Structure 1
Amino acid sequence: MQALQEQLNQASQALRSGQAQQAKRLFQSALQHPQAQANAGVWLGLAFACGNAQDSQGALDAVNQSLQLQPRNPQALLFKADNLWHSGDKATAAEFYQGFLIQAEQDPQLAPDLRAQIPRAQANYDRVETEQLNYLQDQVNALGLNSESTGPRFQEALDISMGKKQFYPQQPSKFFFPRLPHIQFFDTEQFDWVDELESATATIKQELEAALAKGVDFEPYLQSSEEVPTLSRSKNWNNNDWGAFYLWKNGNCLDDAKAHFPNTISALDNIPFARVPGSSPNVLFSRLRPKTRIDPHHGFLNTRLICHLPLIIPENCGALRCGNESRPWQEGKVMIFDDSIEHEAWNDSDSERVVLIFEIWRPELNEAERDAIAKLLNSIKSYQS
């Protein structure tokens, strides 16, 4: 064992002093010993020696042995990436540059000399990714693949694969129901109640404006409670810039709503609300004051959809983003989206924005599933410690 360590010391000294061929012979000799063969560092030492001796294939073989023993070693990953880069295999090199960058990000104890290589590794990786994306775009153009010929789903898949869009999964914070399609914004034509509600926009807006003129009180949409901790860093907590006036709250139609909005309530008669005793429906006018932003967040459930009927939409107002798609509000045009997907909204204008918001069951759920979900959620809410 002492003889092996002495041989490795000599190999390392030769490598440091620029005697690449001598270092190579010493590492190769040491690797005749089983203990050395099980040491990733010895194989990496041989890889450096071979590289300095202009033996590119020997260096690649040695670093491969090192990575078999320590697959996430950042120094070995970077060495292999550089070896492949200089040999012309830049596509594979990019995979190992990415591996190095991932490990470097996760290692707070990364050696300073390796940390200094991060910008170079990132630049090489970015170069290959750009070349690959340009090639793919050329192929797509040559094949005539576009949204007109393939439809929006293929286009979105293409945009995600090319890094133009990010994939946002359903991530409800309280209850997840499996096997529901991943759809950010729903086509309103599939809902038979939309046309009738949109035709009532003028009536609903008239009641809203009359109530606003009388000074009806909006409350902060996000209100802290002594019963649950306020963990979010959002500036919207207890802030009336994002305000709400409820027509239904936790499943009950409120007296103030009946007094101020009789025609609005009537216009909502045919809406298939997601009904959970003690919890929903919730129907409200949502107000965003000028220059107000709602931070990105996820809803509680993926078994419902959120519907907006835009009523007061100033020019250059802003938009609602759900997942990787943003849509501006249009007065009188219903928007339906899955709020279990990350979403946010903003009003960049100098006037307030008001929309009517309510929740409906997802259309894919059958009556038995809706009933079971409602009973389960009601049981959870009724739990008392």
Structure 2
Amino acid sequence: MKFELQGKDPLSKARAATLTTDHGTIETPIFMPVGTIGTVKGVHQRELKEDINPDIILGNTYHLYLRPQTEILEKAGGLHKFINWDRNILTDSGGYQVYSLSANRKIKEEGVKFKSHIDGSYHFFTPENVMEIQRTIGADIIMAFDECTPYPCDYRYAKRSMHMTHRWLDRCIAHLEKTPYKYDYSQTFFPIVQGSTYKDLRKQSAEFIASREAEGNAIGGLSVGEPAEEMYAMTDVVCSILPEDKPRYLMGVGTPINILENIALGVDMFDCVMPTRNARNGMLFTAHGTINIKNKKWADDFSPIDEMGITYVDLEYSKAYVRHLFTVNELLGKQIATIHNLGFYLWLVREARKHILAGDFDAWKNKMVKQMDKRL
């Protein structure tokens, strides 16, 4: 992997860069659409490539391990070939899913025993077999196995969990050093900073992660219910420690405003289910605020969904029509909303990049935050 900084904003820590792997170049800041089980929900690959046009998407180790299972993915030649995607893929290690299964899992030093949410069968994840699963899935960027702590979290638990995540990281690294790539391209490994919302723990974890000199680094355990101000404070602490010459990925974040504020703190990469999940509930993000398309006020509004939108759906369909589709529970409405929201998120990070390179990101960001913080 090659990471090259191309510009910095003079009034914030925002930066523009390129990250290049064997599957192509990623221009940062970047938002990665979430394709948890090998599909970005409701979107055909052609629409994903031609209209939304992300440089990278995200898959999930836990879900892909359970279905379609790693044996199928290996026979297919990896996830890229299985889903016919010739660009970059990042896989989350499953640590967040283990966190979300708190009632059905048991964490030990060796690893995590959990019960499948599908059929109740028991499985065991260790740092070693999670690395092996990600080798088989074949993502370009793979994540360390960690424990994502809840919010709020007791200090002693957060500290104990952080140290275990660090020990697991060393086991991940040791396993990767002795296992070759499975396909004809390389993989890049990112460790994950933890420490809940405790500044001293975040600082300690960031220093530990930085000392391992990985090709990129991630920030986990945020966007789990903490106030936005605490998220920003923790991100600021961590970004001040993680090396500048390597990409920084803030996992699971967030709203459009969250993304802009964290870009200003020095984050390069984001993912979140919000644009797709909220789309399926009728929430459309725009540069001028959020639309609840189910509201009656849109019933006779025949203007396009978003005249500033970058995807074909934005000008092709009216607000009244999309509201009608939601009212009659027609699947097409959810698909249209999903394409719009993903297109908006990609537009947002690409506009951020333009303004970083132009040197006026901070002023543009402040204007955008005010505009987007409205209910239309």
- Please state which band the TM-score falls in when normalised by the shorter chain: under 0.3
TM-score, normalising length: structure 1 = 0.22
TM-score, normalising length: structure 2 = 0.22
Which has the higher relative contact order, 1 or 2, with Cα contacts under 8 A spaced 6 or more apart? Answer: 2
